[in-house]
Amino acid sequence: MITKIKVAQLQEIDGQGARTLAVGDKEIAVFRLSDGSVRAIENRCPHKGGRLSEGMVCGSSVHCPLHDWKINLHTGRVQEPDHGMVTVYETEVDAETGSVYITVD
């Protein structure tokens, strides 16, 4: 079952910052990029399980705080020469209200 969940108001997420939320047994990190867009990914690096919400956002990627693996926030892919992938969640920002939603299944 696909569910759309309100996670925040846009102004509650700092620019180049993150919020976390739990949905069932999943922990999700929601990022606000420097261009104002919002992205959501699984909050666990595929390497050693580092909390990506604690990493530094640079452009459209986040650096894992444990070993500096770089993960693309659009695709969930780890930058080479490292390898792996995290789950990416669809995001939506309501232009009128500023509400931020993610879609989970």
Is it the case that residue 2 has pLDDT exceeding 90?
no
Average pLDDT over residues 42-50: 94
Cα–Cα distances in angstroms (integers) from residue 23 to residues 3, 13, 43, 45, 61, in the given order: 10, 18, 11, 18, 23
Helix, strand, coil shares, percent, the chain, to 5:
5, 45, 50
Q: For residue 88, what are the domain limits?
A: 3-104
The structural domain count of the chain equals 1
How does pLDDT run across 61-83, given as a tens digit for each residue? 999 999 999 999 999 999 999 99
Instruction: Report yes or no: 61 and 72 within 8 Å, Cβ to Cβ.
Output: yes
φ/ψ (deg, to 5) at 61: -130, 160
Is it the case that residue 17 has pLDDT exceeding 90?
no
CATH number of the domain that residue 33 is part of: 2.102.10.10
Average pLDDT over residues 98-105: 93
42-55 burial, b at 16+ Cβ within 10 Å, e below that, comes to bbbbbbeebbbbeb
